[in-house]
């Protein structure tokens, strides 16, 4: 008798938990991002990714509970893209202060933050597509920890619902597409940020001046001999 009651209780609990989770969508984004076909900038970049970025999870409870954990996937993307667009990359814990700057030996420090994530799902829009928008704020610092630029970068991804494809799979695909688009913005747009452009020009000018000075010194030494 007690065994029957025990089994019935278990069955009820399973049914209740199934009913509770039936109307929720939980996705842990998993995507692979290709290497970028680009000529690396000749600088050493430091990447600071805090816990709010690496463990970022979007949650919404409008009509339906939706949870999208994209921290791990976006970390993978930023690591990959920054490795490709700079000749050297290091992972830093924090933005170094002026005093500690010499120990890290980096030219630029990038600290990305997720500003906003928006989802549009078929039950909201009555369209046959899943759409994802991600807005990032990229804070860029020089080697001494002084801010150079604050870049708001938005990306977009969508996928059409396909026959027999689950909501989770469609949402994962749309988010991966949005992250891939973020990579495009980062690779192509980074150099075009006016403050970054100015910083690069300054660095190039310094390098040219240094080269000229070295040449002059060499010529002078050659003349003495």
Q: Is 146 exposed, middle or buried (0-12, 13-18, 19+ CB in 10 A)?
A: exposed
Q: Which is nearer to other proteins, 48 or 153 (CB)?
A: 153
Q: How far is the CB of 159 from other proteins (least distance, A)?
A: 8
Q: How far is the CB of 87 from other proteins (least distance, A)?
A: 15
Q: Is 39 in the site for other proteins (CB under 8 A)?
A: yes
Q: How far is the CB of 196 from other proteins (least distance, A)?
A: 18
Q: How far is the CB of 152 from other proteins (least distance, A)?
A: 16
Q: Judged by CB under 8 A, how many residues of this single chain contact other proteins?
A: 16
CA distance linking residue 12 with residue 118, whole number of Å: 36
Name residues contacting other proteins, limited to 152-211 (CB under 8 A). 158, 160, 180-181, 183-185, 187-188
Are the C-beta atoms of 158 and 132 separated by less than 8 Å?
A: yes
Q: Which is nearer to other proteins, 33 or 56 (CB)?
A: 33
CA distance linking residue 173 with residue 61, whole number of Å: 21
For other proteins, the binding residue among 38, 202, 213, 218 (CB under 8 A) is 38
Q: Which of 138, 128, 180, 124 is CA-nearest to residue 157?
A: 180
Q: Which is nearer to other proteins, 36 or 121 (CB)?
A: 36
Q: Which of 209, 118, 114, 198 is CA-nearest to residue 152?
A: 114
Q: Which is nearer to other proteins, 57 or 154 (CB)?
A: 154
Name residues contacting other proteins, limited to 58-97 (CB under 8 A). none
Residue 36: other Cβ atoms inside 10 A: 18
Q: How far is the CB of 155 from other proteins (least distance, A)?
A: 9
Q: 159 has which bridge partners?
A: 130
Q: How far is the CB of 136 from other proteins (least distance, A)?
A: 15
How wide is the angle at C-alpha 67 spanned by C-alphas 63 and 73, nearest 5°? 150
Q: Is 36 in the site for other proteins (CB under 8 A)?
A: yes
Q: Which is nearer to other proteins, 107 or 181 (CB)?
A: 181
Max CA pair span of the chain: 108
Q: Which two tokens stand for residue 55?
A: 């463990």
Using CB under 8 A, list all residues that contact other proteins: 33-39, 158, 160, 180-181, 183-185, 187-188
């Amino acid at each position: 008798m007690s065994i029957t009651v025990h089994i019935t209780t278990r069955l009820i609990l399973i049914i209740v938990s199934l009913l509770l989770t039936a109307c929720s969508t939980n996705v842990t984004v998993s995507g692979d991002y290709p290497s970028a076909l680009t000529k690396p900038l000749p600088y050493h970049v430091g990447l600071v990714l805090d816990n709010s970025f690496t463990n970022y999870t979007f949650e919404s409870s409008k009509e339906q509970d939706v949870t999208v954990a994209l921290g791990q996937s976006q970390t993978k993307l930023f690591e990959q893209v920054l490795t490709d667009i700079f000749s050297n990359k290091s992972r830093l814990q924090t933005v170094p202060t002026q005093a500690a700057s010499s120990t890290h030996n980096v030219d630029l420090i990038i600290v990305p933050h997720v500003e906003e994530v928006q989802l549009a799902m078929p039950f909201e829009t009555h369209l046959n597509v899943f759409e994802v928008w991600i807005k990032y704020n990229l804070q860029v610092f020089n080697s001494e920890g002084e801010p150079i630029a604050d870049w708001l970068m938005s990306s977009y991804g969508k996928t059409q619902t396909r026959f027999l494809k689950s909501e989770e799979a469609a949402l994962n695909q749309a988010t991966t597409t949005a992250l891939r688009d973020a990579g495009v913005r980062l690779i192509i747009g980074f150099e075009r940020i006016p403050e970054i452009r100015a910083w690069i020009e300054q660095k190039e000018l310094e390098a040219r001046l240094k080269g000229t000075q070295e040449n002059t010194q060499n010529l002078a030494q050659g003349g003495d001999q």
